[in-house]
Amino acid sequence: MTNGKAICNLVGITVFGFLTYKAISIGEQHNSYISVNGLSTRYVVSDEAKWILSLITETNDPGAVPQVQRNNNKETVIKFLKKQGFTDDEIGEINFSVNDRFAWSQYVDKTRKRYAISDDIIIKSSKVELVKSSMLKALSMNLKDCTVDNSTKYLYKKLDGLKIEMMEDATRDARNRADHIAKMSGNKIAGVRNIATGTFSIVSADSSDTKIDDYNEGDNSIEKRVRVVIHASFNIK
């Protein structure tokens, strides 16, 4: 009996020791944690505009469009741009392309001419307000047998540096949120468990849009709202 009792005690000590070890191991791993999102929002004003003026001539025979006519139209546009206040350095190279409307779609408008000859003039300028005010004027230019199509993107050149600052802000916001939750439950933050980059979006400053990664909508506006979200987990004790 004595030996049996001793064996039982030994087994009990062994089991208790195992449970104690597991409890310490779990505590060291910090299995209790809080997961939160951190948010940072900034409002910025575009500091550069990329404006493309496409001079579009429609024809059924690309070879029949006089080169002199196209050159005269381009010269008219360049004179207009300089009159608005743009310099030679801001007026970039002129691209040329021919689009065969019948080749790319089976649903074509037979009433329109087959080819669209596009002569593109590119303006890259920090005068974003001047670009905005000049766009409407460009549409009313009197060009021979040619229409004007505008395409503009408003950019913020310091975006990469801003992203880093905003990620730091979002991380601090996540820590503050986790701290608040931990205190409400009678705990304390013991350290960072995991941090992951969440969503990044740029939209118009006055937009109510909640879509994420909406770069196109942001490019169309001078004033932008930039939003960064990070996902973070914090150990608690």
3-state secondary structure of 230: strand
What does the DSSP assignment read for 189-227? EEEEEEEEEEEEEEEETT-----SS-HHHHHT-SEEEEE
Provide the pLDDT for residue 28: 42
Tell me whether residue 142 is exposed, middle or buried, using C-beta atoms within 10 angstroms of its C-beta: 0 to 12, 13 to 18, 19 or more.
exposed
Contacts of 47 (CB under 8 A, 6+ apart): 126, 128, 155, 156, 157, 158
pLDDT of 69:
86
DSSP category for residue 30: T
Average pLDDT in the 60-89 region? 90
Q: How confident is the model at residue 106 (pLDDT cuts 50, 70, 90)?
A: low
In terms of pLDDT, which residue wins out, 91 or 95?
91
> How much is the pLDDT for 11?
36
pLDDT-based confidence at residue 24 (cuts at 50, 70, 90): very low
Q: Which phi-psi region, left, alpha or beta, contains residue 39 (left: φ > 0; alpha: ψ -120 to 50)? A: beta
Determine the Cα–Cα distance for residues 237 and 234; give it in Å rounded to an integer.
Answer: 10
All residues at 6 or more sequence positions from 133 whose CB lies less than 8 Å from its CB, including other chains = none
For residue 213, what pLDDT is reported? 47
Question: Rounded to an integer, what is the distance from CA 43 to the centroid of its chain?
Answer: 14
Give the model confidence (pLDDT) of 138-162 as tens digits. Answer: 888 878 888 888 889 999 999 899 9
Q: Tokens in use for 46?
A: 């575009």
> Among 13-22, 96-105, 140-149, which stretch is predicted with the lowest mean pLDDT?
13-22
**pLDDT of 12 over the 80 cut:** no
pLDDT of residue 2: 46
**Reduced to 3 states, what is the DSSP secondary structure of residue 185?**
coil
Q: In 3-state terms, the chain is what percent helix, strand and coil (to 5)?
A: 40, 35, 25
Burial of residue 51 (CB within 10 Å: 0-12, 13-18, 19+) is buried
> Which domains can be identified in the chain, with CATH numbers?
30-45+158-236 (3.30.110.170), 48-155 (3.30.70)
Res 126: pLDDT:
96
167 pLDDT exceeds 80?
A: yes
Q: What would the DSSP string read from start to end of 99-146?
A: EEHHHH-SS--TTS-SEEEEEEEEEEES-HHHHHHHHHHHHT---TT-
> For residue 49, which of 220, 227, 231 has the smallest C-alpha distance?
220
Residue 21 has pLDDT above 60, yes or no: no
How large is the greatest C-alpha to C-alpha distance in the chain, in angstroms? 117
Task: Give the residue with greater pLDDT, 2 vs 47.
Answer: 47
pLDDT digits (tens, 9 = 90+) for 186-235: 999 988 999 998 888 888 888 775 554 455 567 888 999 999 999 999 99
Which of these, 153, 121, 141, lies nearest to 80 by C-alpha position?
A: 141
Amino acid 122: pLDDT: 95
Look at residue 29 and tell me whether its pLDDT is greater than 90.
Answer: no
Ranking 51-60, 85-94, 138-147, 168-177 by mean pLDDT, the lowest is 138-147
